[in-house]
């Protein structure tokens, strides 16, 4: 082709298919200014550069596919807590699309007013290099509902370890937190029921046994001072003592059953296991 003399340079990258291998070349043409319409043409092998670029593109696409298929929140913030990236799972959880929130302040967009100050302080600590792990706080969805999220973060750096932002991973623990509160409420209600049971039944039964034991003690005192043995009275004492024994055994059984319900439900920092 004849190049226009006014055109300074023409260049194009093109593939060349060889046996078992594809190579890339850069063609550059500079027109001659001698009026002949000719040009100086060069071909440069750029296969290594193109392959490196294609590898980076494939790596980026692979990373993006992992982020978008992950069943947990992936959030990228810059140093000013502006939203750089949210994944598809966070879009589904919150109802917000990436193009609606990108560039917006994360705390003003997703956090309830009551938590913004404390969470900004925590964010600043993370930016300063103090990683946060397992912190749970609510986020507000587009329709105004709150979801409990357990957060983990890691700093994003550029060349020279310069901090550029924060990568945050979030696990939706809303259902787990609800179950935890329900378990605690059930345990508390059960303890109240047991306390009432101890007061209304077991305590009354023990009080009655106390009176019966006093009767037995009085009878024994009478026997020690009697000149003759009263068989009928002795039988009554034996029956009363037997009733005390049976009553104490029953009370012990009831207390043992009720004590099982008094064992507190302990939930550690990780919450309920599931």
Residues 141-165 have pLDDT tens digits of 999 999 999 999 888 877 666 778 8
Share of the chain above pLDDT 90, in %: 23
**Mean pLDDT of all residues belonging to the chain:** 79
pLDDT band per the 50, 70, 90 thresholds, residue 129: confident
How is residue 80 annotated by DSSP? T
Please determine, for residue 94, whether its predicted confidence score (pLDDT) is greater than 60. Answer: yes
Question: Confidence class of residue 97 from pLDDT cuts 50, 70 and 90?
Answer: very high
Angle at alpha carbon of residue 75, lines to 70 and 78, rounded to 5°: 150
What's the 3-state SS for 92-161?
HHHCCCHHHHCCCEHHHHHCCHHHHHHHHHHHHHHHCCCCCEEEEEEEECCCCCEEEEEEEEEEEEEHHH
More confident residue, 75 or 207: 75
Better-scored residue on pLDDT, 109 or 49 = 109
CB 44 within 8 A of CB 25: yes
- So what's the pLDDT on residue 60? 64
Q: How does pLDDT run across 1-41, given as a tens digit for each residue? A: 444 445 567 778 878 877 777 888 888 878 777 666 677 77
Mean pLDDT, residues 239-262: 76
Maximum Cα–Cα distance for the chain, whole Å?
A: 155
How are beta strands 73-78 and 21-31 bridged, if at all?
unpaired
Residue 145's pLDDT is 93
pLDDT for 245:
81
Q: How far is CA 250 from the centre of its chain?
A: 47
Question: What pLDDT, on the 0 to 100 scale, is given for residue 226?
Answer: 67
- How much is the pTM? 0.52
Q: What is the number of other CB atoms lying within 10 angstroms of the CB of residue 134? A: 11
pLDDT of residue 35: 65
């Amino acid at each position: 082709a004849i190049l226009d003399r006014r055109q300074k340079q023409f260049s194009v990258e093109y593939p060349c298919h060889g046996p078992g291998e594809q190579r890339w070349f850069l063609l550059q043409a500079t027109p001659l200014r001698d009026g002949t319409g000719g040009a100086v043409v060069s071909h440069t092998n750029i296969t290594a550069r193109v392959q490196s670029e294609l590898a980076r593109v494939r790596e980026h696409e692979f990373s993006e596919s992992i982020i978008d298929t992950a069943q947990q929140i992936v959030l990228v913030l810059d140093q000013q807590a502006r939203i750089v990236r949210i994944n598809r799972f966070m879009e589904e959880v919150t109802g917000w699309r990436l193009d609606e929130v990108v560039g917006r302040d994360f705390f003003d967009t997703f956090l309830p007013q009551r938590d913004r100050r404390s969470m900004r302080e925590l964010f600043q600590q993370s930016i300063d290099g103090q990683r946060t792990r397992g912190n749970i706080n609510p986020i507000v969805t587009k329709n105004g509902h709150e979801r409990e999220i357990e957060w983990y973060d890691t700093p994003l750096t550029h060349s020279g370890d310069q901090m550029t932002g924060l990568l945050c991973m979030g696990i939706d623990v809303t259902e787990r937190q609800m179950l935890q509160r329900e378990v605690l409420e059930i345990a508390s209600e059960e303890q109240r029921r047991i306390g009432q049971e101890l007061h209304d039944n077991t305590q009354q039964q023990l009080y009655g046994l106390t009176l019966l034991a006093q009767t037995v003690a009085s009878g024994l005192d009478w026997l020690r001072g009697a000149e003759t043995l009263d068989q009928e009275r002795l039988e009554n004492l034996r029956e009363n003592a037997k009733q005390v024994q049976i009553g104490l055994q029953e009370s012990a059984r009831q207390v043992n059953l009720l004590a099982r319900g008094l064992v507190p439900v302990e939930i550690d920092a990780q919450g309920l296991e599931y």
